Amino acid sequence: MRQEKAVDKASLSNRDEVKFWRAQRFEEMECLSAKFVDHRYPSHIHDTYSIGVIIQGAEKFNCQGSTYIAPQGSIAALDPDIAHDGYPESDGFVYRMMYPSMELMANIHRDLTGKEALPHFKDIVYQDTALAQRLMGLHTVLEGSKDSLEQDSAFALVLSDLIHRHTDRVNDFKQVGLEHGPIAQIRQYLDDMYAKDITLDELANLVGLNRHYMIRAFKKHTGLTPHAYQNMRRAQSAKQQLSRGNLAIDVAMDCGFCDQSHLNRVFKKHFGLTPVQYRNQFSH
């Protein structure tokens, strides 16, 4: 993912912009994408966790008797029921937030550790550049992707790593073992059903593993997430069909892509040229 450009005053000098929506696949989790230049949150609490990334500028807030500044590229994470306010540190800030429920976070923790407990964040502002970029990527996937496995894979991996790195439950995690049989079974299923809209629960239930353990095991064995593996198979199948002269729009539908632009993005990522450019090489 590319690094966001440094903020300047002119880029944040216009009005506030706020967009809320809900990620239906994750217990209707509320998500927020916003730019604040003038707005100041009053002191308030959430009955959910609050997890976000500062994309531009810096947010300042008061919490538990201390004042914090979350600069560009940082992660802000709060447990439920902690009073805090929020306002621009100087010229404004752009950020993305998500608000997972206590039940959702407890379920992730149970899948990762086998223990019934709520994770608690050890701090409030985190300088973790790689995870911040992944969190921003997850947020955009939740906003725009129609692919169930893409949403499931991104959510499971990012939230798992966030809990592992930055909560008090780091020592609870179960190590991923060698799962040759289950992973081989999942790979075969993805090979056969690559064009289908598959969910992470579907794959986990197939082999009797919970979704968070399964995706970590799959990545350990293959180096790919289930979604990346599915996209690879889709791209390979598209390549074969295009070489036979099939039209890109028909190939996109046949191989399980959302539309032709989705095919274009995945195909170029894998092979370095567009589907039409590849097809034209076989048309003479």
Whole-prediction pTM value? 0.84
Of 3.30.70.980, 3.40.50.1220, 3.20.20.70, 2.60.120.10, the CATH number of 9-145 is 2.60.120.10
Residue with tokens 């979704």: 211
| Contact criterion met (CB below 8 Å) for 90 and 132 | no
Q: Distance between CA atoms of 128 and 165, rounded to whole angstroms?
A: 10
- For Cα atoms 78, 100, 121, give the angle at the middle one, nearest 5 degrees: 30
Long-range Cβ contact pairs of 130-133 (< 8 A, separation 24 or more) = 131/75, 131/158, 131/161, 131/162, 131/165, 132/53, 132/73, 132/74, 132/75, 133/1, 133/3
pLDDT of the chain, 284 residues: tens digit per residue:
344 444 444 454 578 999 999 999 999 999 999 999 989 999 999 999 999 999 999 999 999 999 999 999 999 999 999 999 999 998 899 999 999 999 999 998 888 888 888 999 989 999 999 999 999 999 999 999 989 999 999 999 999 999 989 998 666 667 777 789 999 999 999 999 999 999 999 999 999 998 988 999 999 999 999 999 999 999 999 999 999 999 999 999 999 999 999 999 999 999 999 999 999 998 65
Confidence (pLDDT) at 112: 84
Backbone φ, ψ for residue 238 (5° rounding): -60, -40
Q: Which residues pair with 34 in a beta bridge?
A: 18, 95
Q: Which CATH class is domain 175-284?
A: mainly alpha
Q: Which residues pair with 53 in a beta bridge?
A: 75, 96
Confidence (pLDDT) at 1: 38
| Contact criterion met (CB below 8 Å) for 122 and 168 | yes
Q: Which residues pair with 95 in a beta bridge?
A: 34, 54
Instruction: Say how many Å lie between the first and final Cα of the chain, rounded.
Output: 37
Beta strands per DSSP E along 172-211: none
Backbone φ, ψ for residue 174 (5° rounding): -80, 135
Long-range Cβ contact pairs of 138-146 (< 8 A, separation 24 or more) = 139/31, 139/33, 139/53, 139/96, 139/98, 140/96, 142/23, 142/26, 142/31, 142/98, 143/21, 143/31, 143/33, 146/258
**Six-digit token string for 91:** 């010229």
Confidence (pLDDT) at 164: 87
Residue extents of the structural domains in the chain: 9-145, 175-284
- For Cα atoms 93, 6, 139, give the angle at the middle one, nearest 5 degrees: 55
